[in-house]
Structure 1
């Protein structure tokens, strides 16, 4: 990856705050012209420092009042088992993130549901029927303070 200078880092901080901010506004804040700001943004995409745009949705406001983190241990590990599990779990729309981790569990899942009864339905009918699934531990999210900051 190409080295990032101070202007690139400031640009990334501005985009983290608001990814939809126009290049002309970014340029003004950084002391660059709009084309120069746009070229930097394009270069950051090309080198992989920017991986797209995201929209943060408020799950609770959309009717998903429960978030549960699941620790999942596979009954059998191996490349084929991992790929089968990842493919199957990624198809469950309530599963928001799938993280392959090192430690007590093989995977960490973030699951949203309308309420605990809805979560139980998703767990029993969808998650516990996945290929290769072993022990599962659930942790219900009580509150979340997300402090996104520059890397």
Structure 2
């Protein structure tokens, strides 16, 4: 497993706070949601804005920054909450194997590259299947279980 992690900058914190606030008041930016996951050590709920993705009828969460705290927490709990406005959805997730990630990563880049493309160095939605498979270990993906 890759230990890839891109630490947020100060500007990222401001952007995430704004997107999270808009989503919490019911004005999600292009379908964003606020993901809340219980801390694996503290037990406290931690929240961050995410961009859920639908591919071939399935829903996914992709971590463009790599192995973040929300990723580590959701691996332990297997469940979380997705919210926008007053609507809260309780979800369960399963991690996607690296060899199954390329079409999901491609769809994610098509949908969200304007926001997260900078985390995918030298990779875009037109990259080869081989290249997407090569970077897959650094980009955790979770399928939202119905």
* TM-score normalised to structure 2 length: 0.27
Structure (1/2) with the larger strand percentage: 2
* TM-score normalised to structure 1 length: 0.26
The structure number with the bigger radius of gyration is: 1
